[in-house]
Every structure is written in C-alpha cells, then in structure tokens.
Amino acid sequence: MKKVMSYAIAMAAFAFLLSSCTVVRQGEVGVKRTFGKYADRPYTEGLKVFNPFTSMIVKVPIQTENMEVGLNLPSKEGLNIRAEISILYNIQSNKAPDILRLIGTDYENNVILPVFRSAVADVSARFYAKDMHTGERGTIELAIQQQMTKLLDGKGIVIEAVLIKSIQLPSNLARAIEEKLEAEQRALRMEFVLQEERQEAERMRIQAEGVRDAQNIISQGLDPQVLQFKSIEAFLELAKSPNTKVIISDGDLPVLLGPGGEGALPSNTGLKR
C-alpha cells in the first residue's frame, strides 16, 4: 500500500512539475500573467518555470507573419476590383506585454485587419482600375504600407510590406486594356519599320551623293590640256605597235591605218575612212 501511495505521489509531483514548466522557442516571446495581470518584461527563448495555480505564460510570435486577405478594392472611377493581398508584419518583442494588455491575443482581427481595410479604401480610391494592373501596382502597395504604419504607430506592430498577389479586373475593362496594349505593340512595330526605311533612304542618298561628287571631280579634271596630254600618250603607244603603218590625226585624236589602207577610227570622231 505504501508503494502505491509513493507511486501516486511521485506521479502527481511529476505532473505538477510538467504543468509548471514551459518552453519559449526562438521566434517568440513569453509574457507571464499572474492573477490576470501581465508582467512588464517578456521572457526570451528557453525553459521557464511558473506556478500553474496562480500564473500562466502567454506566448507571442515575433517573427515575420503573413496575413492573407481577399477583398474588393474601390477604384477612382467607382469600380470594384477583386484582389488577393498579403500583409507581412511582425510584433516588437518589448511591446508584447502592451499588446496583450490593450489589444489581446487576437490582434490580427482586432487591429491589423481593420487598419488594413481603412488604408486600402483610402489609397485605392486615388487610382484608376487600370493602374492596379500596370506598373503603378508597386506605388499602391507602398502607399498602403505607409498608411498602415502611420495608423499603427506606437502600437508595437511593424508592417514590413503589403503585396498585391492577384487582381481580377472586370471583363470589359480587361479586354479594353488588352486592346490598348496590342495597339501600342503595333505602333512600336510600325515605328521600327519606318526607322529602317529612313535608314535605307539615307544610305541611298549618301551613295548618290558619292557618285555625283566622283563625277564632278572627274569632269573638273578633264580640261583641254589634260586631253591633249592623253592624246600624245596615245600617239606614243600607237607608234610602238609593230602593226601600225600610218597615223593620221587632227591634232586631238589619232587615226590608225593598217595594211591595205584600212583604218581604225574611234567611233566618236566625225572623220571618214
């Protein structure tokens, strides 16, 4: 009987020991609550002992949390845009006791979500629906984050980022945006073709100018003295030929007479054989 009693006492002591201990893990802090009152100083990671009859330790995560929300965003022109948005936030460890006192453990639904909905309504109403589907998305995300940070200032909740994951535009608006983008692509393609044509026309103009300049240079160099010098050179070359018999010239162009009196006249002379 004594052994049974000893065993029962040992089990009760072990159970009491287990119920009076808790482990605060990395990425969270523990706040001791005694008779309903939270301590001012939170516990960091490690094994913590407390009296289970009078106290308890409430754990609060301080790592980055992802809160996903689906809602309709009102646009500047009065449209409702369905969006899926992620809110990345964290709790400041030294503010955990104040959050538990003033807000409670359900701070996401009590504070973060209402502040988010207010900031979204205020920011999205300043932008057109098409802006949420273009490069303005980053501006909208940053504006919502800044608005939430302003509203949550001093509460111990840090908004790291607001990310718009998906946007569902009205079908008629989505079709209009697609048609506009297609028209812009066609305009860019036509501009590229026109640019190529302009470059080809410029190349042909430069080539024609080069031919014209070359002809001008040649024509300017063919004065009477040069032509007479070239004629003398032709006489000398003809005189060296063994087939040459008689050379007749008007002073400018040579005429070659071969055997039998046949002559070779240049085609551009007015002389007859």
Q: For residues 95 and 183, give the distance between their C-alpha atoms in angstroms, rounded to a whole number.
A: 54
Among 86, 190, 93, residue whose Cα is nearest residue 141: 86
Amino acid letter, 157: I
Q: For residues 14 and 47, give the distance between their C-alpha atoms in angstroms, rounded to a whole number.
A: 16
Q: For residues 260 and 244, give the distance between their C-alpha atoms in angstroms, rounded to a whole number.
A: 12
- Tell me the pTM: 0.57
- Residue spans per domain, the chain: 2-61, 65-174, 224-264
Q: For residues 269 and 258, give the distance between their C-alpha atoms in angstroms, rounded to a whole number.
A: 18
For residue 210, count CB atoms less than 10 angstroms from its CB and return exposed for 0-12, middle for 13-18, buried for 19 or more: exposed
Among 33, 34, 60, 55, residue whose Cα is nearest residue 45: 60
For residue 69, count CB atoms less than 10 angstroms from its CB and return exposed for 0-12, middle for 13-18, buried for 19 or more: middle
pLDDT tens over the chain, length 273 residues: 656 566 556 555 545 445 567 888 888 999 988 888 898 899 888 887 777 778 888 899 999 999 999 988 888 877 788 889 999 999 999 999 999 999 988 999 999 999 999 999 899 888 887 787 777 888 999 999 999 999 999 899 999 999 988 887 766 665 665 677 677 777 888 888 888 888 888 888 888 888 887 777 777 666 666 666 677 777 677 667 666 556 666 555 555 555 544 444 444 444 333
Name the superfamily (CATH) of residues 65-174: Band 7 domain (3.30.479.30)
Cβ 84 vs Cβ 70: under 8 Å: yes
